[in-house]
Homo-oligomer: A and B are copies of this chain.
Amino acid sequence: MSLPFALSTLARGMRPSPIRELFPLIRRPGMISFAGGLPAPDAFPVEAFAACADVLAARGREVLQYGASEGWPELREVLLERMTAHLGRPVAGDELLVTTGSQQALDLLARGILDPGDTVVVEGPTYPGALHSLRNVGARFAAVPSDGDGMLVDALPEVVAAVERETGKRPRLVYVVPDFANPTGACLTLARRRRLVELAAALGIPVLEDDPYGRVRFRGEALPAVTALAAGSPWVLYAGSFSKVLAPGVRLGWLVGPPELVRAMVMLRQGSDLCPPTVTQALVAEYCRRGHLEGHLERVIATYRVRAEAMQRALRAELPEGAASWREPDGGFFHWLRFPGRDATALFRSAVAQGVAFVPGVAFFPEPDEQVGGLVVDAEHARLAFTFADEAGIVEGCRRLARALAE
């Protein structure tokens, strides 16, 4: 039976994400998946996390009740302390919002600062989930190309000017993943970070630094967060997440931003999910207070280093000379491969037939018809996550990929 009433303009205009379309293919039995950006399930801290469940008994009456829309006080304490260290300045309570996954930080931020038709500047390529949240409020996109050192920040003024020429309006947000970007794995250089902070204020456009992967570094020195370099400037906002450093199943993230923005997002969230789940917040707060997080992070990093290196070796050993090029990531979840002269979406279909999955690069760009200020697309790249399959799976997956390339 077809729906007898109309969906909203927003819902009618939705397009299935290319990634979502691929899910059924990827789930076939025997498939080796380099596709989803999923943490390694064997690296989850199952025992230590489950042991924290005694908080559900000890503080059940609070834990089972409605909580504050701003977040559970103990989790807020943990986050304020961590953010104060990470951003290099005291972060105040009214700058912090706990969210139901950092996806909700994006969702509430989008609703809080964008009107339909507004333009957001993103890296090309960028995280498709961010495009989705922003699309949900009717955003259009200007894509700034990126290279192995992240967004080409110096191109930002020209992109902004092109958007203004085309739409008559300045973009309302710059969205960037400076550390181990999704999908490229690139880290924005220090010079580009500094330039981005200057440009945010100079152009009058707030920047969201989305940082799910920054702590997952297995080589080299950490760079200061863009938000840390901004030193309290209201032009730079920070979003963090427990998904990659602890577990996505808790659906907890957070945003640090100017109090007035946080207040607006709190009000929007009261019409959205009222408050983050108190049960998961209490569990995660307990997990952090017991000092588990740092030790677990070491284990996560060790696991992913081994897998990233295994994938490096397997790609070099299995793929034909010159068939693909990539840059070794220093952390994060992803290899970003270029297959010169090949269409990565066509290659994806061959690869799936061979029993290995990845995500074709086109999934990480705004669709051509929603881009303004100049078209940026890329059909030759593909994202391979090295986090989910184990070492044997990684080797076999790369063999299958080689067979797909040979077709």
Whether the pair B272, A104 counts as a contact (CB closer than 8 A) is yes
| A205-B10 CB under 8 A given contacts A64-B44, A270-B17 | no
Chain B residues with Cβ below 8 Å from A191 are none
Alpha-carbon distance A54/B11, docked complex (angstroms): 40
Indicate how many identical chains form the complex.
Answer: 2
- If A249-B63, A258-B1, A268-B136 touch, whether A113 touches B274 (CB-CB below 8 Å) is no
Determine how close the nearest CB of chain B comes to the CB of A243; give it in whole angstroms.
8
- Given contact pairs A17-B270, A249-B64, A5 touches B53 in the complex (Cβ within 8 A): no
Q: What is the minimal beta-carbon distance from A201 to any residue of chain B, in angstroms?
A: 8
Digitize A32-68: 1 where CB-to-B-CB distance is under 8 Å, 0 elsewhere: 0000101101101011011001101100111111110
Q: Is the pair B234, A251 in contact by a Cβ cutoff of 8 Å?
A: no
Instruction: Provide the bound-state CA to CA distance between A10 and B113, in Å.
Output: 8
Residue A275 is within 8 A (CB to CB) of chain B in the complex: yes
Partner of A234, one of B3, B56, B275: B3
Known A53-B56, A261-B3, A267-B16; contact A64-B277, beta-carbon cutoff 8 A: no
Q: Check if B47 sits within 8 Å of A57, measured CB to CB.
A: yes
Check B57–A7 contact: CB distance below 8 A: no
Contact A113 B53 (CB under 8 A): no
Neighbouring B residues of A64 by C-beta, 8 Å:
41, 44, 46, 49, 246-250
Cβ–Cβ contact B60 & A272, under 8 A: no
- Which residues of the other chain, B, contact A273 by a CB distance below 8 angstroms? 100-101, 103-104, 107, 251, 273
Taking the complex as formed, is A6 at the interface, i.e. its CB lies under 8 A from any CB of chain B? yes
A407 interfacial contact with B, CB 8 Å: no
| Contact pick for A60, options B44, B132, B248, B280, CB 8 Å | B44
Q: Within 8 Å of chain B (Cβ to Cβ): is A135? A: yes
Chain B residues, CB < 8 A from A8: 111-115, 137
- For A274, what are the chain B residues with a Cβ–Cβ distance below 8 Å? 101, 103, 129, 248, 251
Which one of A41, A133, A267, A273 has the highest number of Cβ atoms from chain B below 10 Å of its Cβ?
Answer: A273
A265 closest partner in B (C-beta): B11
CB of A203, distance to nearest CB on chain B (Å): 11
> Does A93 count as interface, using CB distance less than 8 angstroms?
no
Check: A279 CB closer than 8 A to any chain B CB. yes
Nearest-neighbor residue (CB-CB) of A37 within chain B: B66
Q: How far is the CA of A279 from the CA of B277 in the complex (A)?
A: 10
A74 to chain B, nearest CB (A): 14
Complex interface residues of chain A between 73 and 122 (CB less than 8 A to chain B): 100-101, 103-104, 106-107, 111-115
Query: Which chain B residues border A247 with CB–CB below 8 Å?
Result: 64-65, 279
The docked-state distance in angstroms from the alpha carbon of A274 to that of B99 is 12
18 A-B pairs, CB-CB below 8 angstroms? A1-B258, A4-B201, A6-B113, A7-B260, A10-B112, A10-B115, A11-B264, A38-B65, A46-B60, A53-B53, A53-B56, A64-B246, A64-B250, A65-B247, A65-B249, A67-B249, A100-B277, A107-B271
Q: What is the interface of chain A, defined by CB distance below 8 A to chain B?
A: 1-11, 14, 16-17, 20, 36, 38-39, 41-42, 44, 46-47, 49-50, 53-54, 56-57, 60-67, 100-101, 103-104, 106-107, 111-115, 129, 132-137, 172, 201, 204-206, 234-235, 243, 246-251, 258, 260-261, 264, 267-268, 270-280, 283
